[in-house]
Amino acid sequence: DAGVIQSPRHEVTEMGQEVTLRCKPISGHDYLFWYRQTMMRGLELLIYFNNNVPIDDSGMPEDRFSAKMPNASFSTLKIQPSEPRDSAVYFCASSREGNQPQHFGDGTRLSIL
Amino acid sequence: GDSVTQMEGPVTLSEEAFLTINCTYTATGYPSLFWYVQYPGEGLQLLLKATKADDKGSNKGFEATYRKETTSFHLEKGSVQVSDSAVYFCALSDPRTYKYIFGTGTRLKVLA
């Protein structure tokens, strides 16, 4: 089975630009999670979905961040406008059920200049 | 709130040495516990898990036992290889919300 697929793998853009990160979860997985990883703060959960519905977005840092899951096989994380402090590696993960292990994608390394 | 504490790294060992990476947790309920491994440029991969007290998770020579009395889930391996060099994350899963809490990660470097 294919794992969690994220795109792009790397993104470099200038401050103020809109950034869209994409994720395709493992087929049949009902839960999808977005994380951010930085040296200073480690791994932080931003938001998670169950059956395409956002359940908890308390980790989203501010209104510049938004996430959607229009169907079971696709999710986006959008930052608008982007700032240098948003530079990080963003991971998407999915699980079959809430109490099952999460499977991670390879991440998107985002650099905001 | 719930939390996970891991030993600071980096940990540097010679090949075939014994490995222990300490992990303790605080939780109000009965969480599931996990160890994940991250190789450079990759996402986290599940290494092993335990879902209740006294469970032992094991995989690829790694082991960890869910100790409720000491709230610990230490990772061990009897003989490390150079290929085990990576960052190891301890995590707990809140059984009510399914949210993961990760430790800060411990970098392991194994020298030939």
- Tell me the DSSP string of chain B: --EEEE--S-EEEETT--EEE-EEEE-SS--EEEEEEE-TTS-EEEEEEE-STT-EEEETTEEEE-BTTTTB--EEESS--GGG-EEEEEEEE-TTT--EEE---EEEEEE-
Q: Is A45–B99 a contact, with Cβ atoms under 8 angstroms apart?
A: yes
Residue A73 has pLDDT above 70, yes or no: yes
48-87 in chain B: CB under 8 A from chain A: 49, 51
Q: Chain B residues with CB inside 8 Å of A43's CB?
A: 44, 89, 102, 105
Query: What are A22-71's pLDDT values in tens digits?
Result: 999 999 999 999 999 998 989 999 999 999 999 999 999 889 999 999 99
Shortest distance between the Cα of A29 and any Cα of chain B, in A, equals 14
Query: What are A5-26's pLDDT values in tens digits?
Result: 999 999 999 999 999 999 999 9
